[in-house]
Structure 1
Amino acid sequence: MLWILLAVVALIVLSTFLLFRVHDLSHYDGGDWAVREVAPNPAHDEVMERIKDMGRASRGLKGKARLIALRNHLDSLGEGVEVKSEIRHSEHPRGEWVLASGADTRRRVLYIHGGAWAAGSPRSHRAITDRFSQLANAAVFALDYRLMPEHRFMDGIRDCRQAYTWLLNHGPDGEEKAEFIVVAGDSAGGSHTLSLLAWIRDNGVRQADAAIALSPSTDLTLTAPSNRENIRTDPLLGPVFGGLSKIPLPVLWWGTLAAFRISPTNPVASPLRGNLNDLPPTLIHASSTEMLLDNATRYAAKARAEGSPVQLHTWQNMVHVWHIFSPLLPEAEQAFEDIGEFLSQVENQHA
């Protein structure tokens, strides 16, 4: 019996190695990235309370009930925001247009929301899309892509690809060619954003003029140091995903394969592990204390090494995707100002 057990273990180890082939990317760690210092502010305490409210909303719930509670709480973040833009619902593709007063509809932003691919919506992220429309003077399309577990991970990927190609030739008022287009997203949506850029390049579609990824997930193998080292300093992701650190990585990889129906090493799900050359100007924001910090730093370092113009700007001690707490957090306003400056730089280079 012992030899049978040993043979099974050997088979699992061998199949794990052959299937996942997780290359070591630690040589991209240790970059000298400037960190913007943050002064204490009462708004930080209020944000922490809102994050705790999210935990309370799902406490004691399991399965579908817990997921619904989390989705409802995320959507409630958008309901409390004073939106200055006009909101127009769209059914095909599904989502909403966010239009600041006087926005040029030939300028467009495809915004892909975060939420661990299982939560979030255009409504939950209106604090971000409203500001994007203002600072970019553009029509923002917030995509309501299909979420897990009701749908497959690849369904959401396909929604992003279809929305982008549609957006090239359609604005809020009908058929109209885009003159300037940006792809942006946060967290899981940041992963979709970076994955989409590579797909656009590889399929001969007109590339985005610029891209912005806020606290993006770039690598589902969870091998970056901050995935474990920053659990205690990440008040949003730490309580939800920190427990994964106790599970051996190969087990997590098999679990990801089962849940996502795609390998965690596949660049579609982990854009860091793909070809990062010939990409458009890209701005990445991350917090120095969040679990996904090294996902951002590794992506920026690898993209630069492969010749793509990627910038990484980090803030000290901010919560994951702190932009969603605009205008409450002054650092969120700083981040949006930084995005505006980046877009101006991109346009000046094209002029």
Structure 2
Amino acid sequence: MFWLYLTLAALALLAAAVLATRLTFRLEDLSALDRQAHAVRQQAPSPELQRAHELVEQAHAVAKSRSGKAGLAALREHMDALSDDLVLHSARQLQKAPRGEWMIAPGTDTRRRVLYLHGGGWTAGSPRSHRAITDRLSRATRAAVFAVDYRLMPEHRFMDGVKDCREAYCWLLDNGPEGAAAADFMLVAGDSAGGSHTLALLAWLRDSGLRQADGAVAFSPSTDLTLTAPSNRGNIAADRLLGPMFGRLARLPRPLVWWGVLALFRVSPTDPQASPLRGRLAGLPPTLIQASADEMLVDNARRYAARAAAEGSPVTLQLWPGMVHVWQIFAPLLPEADEAFAEVAAFVAQLEAEQT
């Protein structure tokens, strides 16, 4: 009889957990978005990709060398050091409030501005770590690029970083590297976690009635923290950067992941601020998304592009075969990074042509 009572109690607890999960997250099934086909570039990866793989392996080794806070500190230091030997073509200018730095390519019109939101899983990365991107982005867009040093977890809440991104955008509307001056052109861009911040910011601007960005660029954005897209598990082995870091997490039962995200982020993984794919995507500006066909997040990008198109927002999705997650950060090492920034330049030129 004891075992019967124990079994019944366990079943009751399981049923309560299932009910609590359903009531808390109310997950919308987005699998229908996976039916839309998206073309992948027909080209073999360049030989230089091997060197990028070696750099990725170095980052993994650093992350594994220590645990806890010490490991995170070591990873942050390693990421920042990636830019130390770069030959920058842009002038660099620090900004105290909001905190961040400008990248200003020669010949830039500083009334043309880009807000850059760096990646790093919301726990690492900085304007310094992403100078390879912001330098090239300033040249590609002929704009002054401001990389905001938004607050990171776990020292701060996820929403603290979101607020920093919002405030930086509003500040950029009226301020440039030389001081107060209204912006003539505004672009928002970001990679990975910062790509998700980018897409969420567009929706917030629409809902807040503020001046919308003229366009947006997202490199390998996460878009959805529920980890329900097929590639989140299917591309673990192929993803040389995210697979070793998040592969085990992606294999966990998804309800455990959702509760974990809620505990760490203090927002639900279905909240559009954390998962912009799960918000309303109508009325957004033209957006360019670039992703690797072999990364864990590629279906997140595919789903976002498909849903945005269905709701009437123009999204261009470009997929490269065999690339690492956010390969644009390996400029000028990778020829594919050069190709990516050339596509960004063409996208911005198209935006301007449509505005005239």
Q: Taking structure 1 as the reference length, what is the TM-score of the superposition?
A: 0.98
Alpha-carbon separation, structure 2, partners of 1:46 and 1:111: 26
Match of 2:31 in 1: 26
Q: 1:166 to 1:320 in 2, by over 3 A?
A: same
Q: Which moved more, 1:273-282 or 1:77-86?
A: 77-86
Give 1:189's aligned amino acid: G
Match of 1:218 in 2: 223
Alpha-carbon separation, structure 2, partners of 1:146 and 1:210: 24
1:268 paired to 2:276: no
Alpha-carbon separation, structure 2, partners of 1:184 and 1:231: 26
- Which residue of the other structure, out of 135, 145, 152, is the alignment partner of 2:140? 135
Alpha-carbon separation, structure 1, partners of 2:9 and 2:40: 54
Alpha-carbon separation, structure 2, partners of 1:290 and 1:80: 27
Q: How does 1:291-330 map to 2 (within 5 A)?
A: 291-330=296-335
Structure 2: gaps of 5 or more residues? none
Alpha-carbon shift at residue 42 of structure 1 (Å): 2.8
Q: Taking structure 2 as the reference length, what is the TM-score of the superposition?
A: 0.97
Tell me, yes or no, if the aligned pair for 1:262 and 1:269 is still in contact at 8 Å: yes
Q: What's the CA shift string for 1:223-263, capped at 9, x where partnerless? A: 00000000000000000000113310001100000000000
Match of 1:160 in 2: 165
Give 2:305's aligned amino acid: A
Tell me, yes or no, if the aligned pair for 2:187 and 2:213 is still in contact at 8 Å: yes
Q: Which moved more, 1:229-238 or 1:31-40?
A: 31-40
1:15 paired to 2:20: yes
Q: Which moved more, 1:33-42 or 1:223-232?
A: 33-42
- Which residue of the other structure, out of 47, 61, 76, is the alignment partner of 2:52? 47
Alpha-carbon separation, structure 2, partners of 1:202 and 1:97: 28
- Which residue of the other structure, out of 6, 11, 16, is the alignment partner of 1:6? 11
Match of 1:179 in 2: 184
Tell me, yes or no, if the aligned pair for 1:104 and 1:138 is still in contact at 8 Å: yes
Structure 1: gaps of 5 or more residues? none
Tell me, yes or no, if the aligned pair for 2:113 and 2:187 is still in contact at 8 Å: yes
Tell me, yes or no, if the aligned pair for 1:38 and 1:331 is still in contact at 8 Å: no
Alpha-carbon separation, structure 2, partners of 1:91 and 1:270: 30
Q: Which moved more, 1:55-64 or 1:227-236?
A: 55-64
Q: What's the CA shift string for 1:141-184, capped at 9, x where partnerless? A: 00100000000000000000000011000001111000000000
Alpha-carbon shift at residue 40 of structure 1 (Å): 4.5
Match of 2:264 in 1: 259
Alpha-carbon separation, structure 2, partners of 1:25 and 1:39: 31
Give 1:17's aligned amino acid: R
- Which residue of the other structure, out of 314, 318, 336, is the alignment partner of 2:341? 336
Alpha-carbon separation, structure 2, partners of 1:306 and 1:178: 28
- Which residue of the other structure, out of 284, 299, 303, is the alignment partner of 2:289? 284
Q: Matched residue of 1:197: which SS?
A: helix
Q: Which moved more, 1:7-16 or 1:163-172?
A: 7-16
Q: CA RMSD in A?
A: 0.9
